[in-house]
Amino acid sequence: MSESLARAFPARLAPVVTGIAQALPAAPLGPNGSVTRSNSRAWPGLVMAGEPVVIPQRVYNPEPSPRFAAGLSPVEAVVTARK
């Protein structure tokens, strides 16, 4: 799963995303699809900081513990949407 999440961010954040993904509680299901695809059509590719990104439509990890969230750096907090 960490590889699919890493593709949702610019390459320079891959080590942070991979570390966070490995530390999160296990998800009962893997990421589901991409926000650039729907049942009716494909949307243009997304680009962030000049790099193509693949944003998962849904990610099913349980909420991390408050202790885990409190130990995040500012960049890690943004990656986990905890800020």
Q: Over the stretch 1-56, which tens digit does the pLDDT of each residue have?
A: 567 778 888 889 989 988 988 888 777 776 666 666 666 666 677 888 888 887 77
More confident residue, 74 or 62: 74
pLDDT of residue 83: 47
Burial class (CB in 10 A: 0-12, 13-18, 19+), 2: middle
DSSP 24: S
With a CB cutoff of 8 Å and minimum separation 6, the contacts of 9 are 16, 17, 48, 53, 79
Domain residues for the domain of 15 are 2-24+31-36+45-79
Q: Mean pLDDT throughout 59-70?
A: 82
Domains of the chain: total? 1
The enclosing H or E element of 4 equals helix 2-6
Please give the Cα distance from 60 to 43 (Å, whole number): 23
| Position 74 confidence tier, pLDDT thresholds 50, 70, 90 | very high
* 8 close to 79: Cβ distance less than 8 angstroms: no
> Is a pLDDT exceeding 60 seen at residue 78?
yes
